[in-house]
Structure 1
Amino acid sequence: MTAPTMNGLIHHAVRRDLARLAAALDPWPDGDRARAQRLERAFANLRRELTHHHEGEDEHVWPFLARTGVEAGLLAEMEAEHGAMSAALAGTATALSRLAQSGSADDAAAARESVEGTRTVVEAHFDHEEKELEPLLRSHEGTPEWKAVTDQLRHRSPGDAGSFFAWLTDGISDEDRAALKATVPAPLTFVLSRALGRRYTKEIAPVWR
């Protein structure tokens, strides 16, 4: 099996979080507002990371692919799918906010339904992107042009980078960790996730334990 790219690793982290969120909502102890508020906070982190990822693709990756001759129609499909995901994420955020206020089993059931709908939308886009675009991106790995794109994608504040790597590695599989190590030196990942990712480690990671 081909090792995942950084794009693939991010997709795996998103899938992992959505699966954990769905599992955390079923079964639901009626009235547990504190738990609901923690889940709302964890989802907000996921939504932020996924939004950042897609904005980077819209701004840098799709224009790069357009310059290499990828059909405009396919890239338009990707942008439309990003819009559908944004709408789904907003709907789930609303459902979780309602649950955080009430803690009720009924609102938890509604939130579960919303999460599952979001998973369907996200999975459809990820499958489409991984099938159609991932092979094309792999063919450009190592070129100066693609390196310039990845440099733009990595441009984040130290705090944001630390939070990103703490999130990316939270629950990561051994196979994905090896792939990450081949892309980012392990000492750098350690420093970013442990030293600069303390907010995630303190506020988000315990939600999934």
Structure 2
Amino acid sequence: MVDLDMNQIIHAAVRRDLARMETALRGLAEADADRAAGLKRAWDVLWRQLHRHHESEDTLVWPYVRGLAVVEPAVVDAMESEHQAMAAACDAATAAIEAVVADPTAARATAAADAVAEAARVTDSHLEHEERAITPVIQERVDTPEWKTVEAELRKGSPFEAGELFAWLQDGADPEVVAALRSTVPAPVVTIMSRVFGFSYHRRVAPVWR
């Protein structure tokens, strides 16, 4: 099994949720307002986590990579422009999902599923590009003081942010992804943070996927 770093673990969760969101919207029953509201809660978590992840890359990771001078500047420029395209696609999906909540018809659900599929296409294209062009550069330097400084900044945040992150990462994850997470972050930390500070996720979002 290929070892996954935290970045790839997050990418796996993004891909998983985009796929199951599209599937759930295509299967939404006519006038199922409760289900539509639940899917919107799940989408809000996905989009919040994805936005936070890419905001951190824009402010911390890309400047670090530029400073190494081993990646063509045009590649890092592409990472930034791909983030913008992804945000636009996810904003369009958000609007379509909100329309389903307001009027949960099968037609609106299908339109929202199409918007999510487009967001998934744009997002996966970026994630694949990043994993191909940037991930190996960072993996070669994970033990350097410079990267450890970046990593420390990436880990900053409130316990509730970390709790939601860990709860979300594990919800429906493949066993190898969960194993990678628990080898990257001490398993007791993952368990406590997700169960205590991620309680809201377990109560309000996880049941959407059951």
TM, length-normalised to structure 2: 0.97
**What residue is the counterpart of 2:113 in the other structure?**
112
**What residue is the counterpart of 2:101 in the other structure?**
100
Partners in 1 of 2:36 and 2:182 — Cα distance?
35
Q: 1:13: how far off?
A: 0.3
Q: 1:2: how far off?
A: 2.0
**What residue is the counterpart of 2:77 in the other structure?**
76
**What residue is the counterpart of 1:132 in the other structure?**
133
Partners in 1 of 2:149 and 2:138 — Cα distance?
13
TM, length-normalised to structure 1: 0.98
Partners in 1 of 2:115 and 2:174 — Cα distance?
27
Q: 1:171: how far off?
A: 1.3
Range that drifts further, 171-180 or 186-195: 171-180
**What residue is the counterpart of 1:194 in the other structure?**
195
Q: 1:133: how far off?
A: 0.7
State whether residues 160 and 198 of structure 2, in contact with CA within 8 Å, keep that contact through their aligned partners in structure 1: yes
Q: 1:146: how far off?
A: 0.6
SS in 2 for 1:112: helix
Letter of the 2:115 partner, please give it: S
State whether residues 13 and 173 of structure 2, in contact with CA within 8 Å, keep that contact through their aligned partners in structure 1: yes
State whether residues 42 and 205 of structure 2, in contact with CA within 8 Å, keep that contact through their aligned partners in structure 1: yes
Letter of the 2:89 partner, please give it: A
Partners in 2 of 1:119 and 1:181 — Cα distance?
27
Partners in 2 of 1:71 and 1:180 — Cα distance?
31
State whether residues 28 and 35 of structure 2, in contact with CA within 8 Å, keep that contact through their aligned partners in structure 1: no
SS in 1 for 2:207: helix
Letter of the 1:61 partner, please give it: V
Letter of the 2:102 partner, please give it: Q
**What residue is the counterpart of 1:174 in the other structure?**
175
Letter of the 1:161 partner, please give it: A
Task: Give the fraction of aligned pairs with identical amino acids, expressed as a percent.
Answer: 43
State whether residues 3 and 176 of structure 1, in contact with CA within 8 Å, keep that contact through their aligned partners in structure 2: no
Q: 1:27: how far off?
A: 2.3
Partners in 2 of 1:160 and 1:132 — Cα distance?
29
Q: Give the gaps of 5 or more residues in structure 1.
A: none
* Misfit runs of 4+, over 2 Å: none
Verify: 1:33 aligned to 2:33, yes or no: yes
SS in 1 for 2:92: helix
Q: Give the gaps of 5 or more residues in structure 2.
A: none
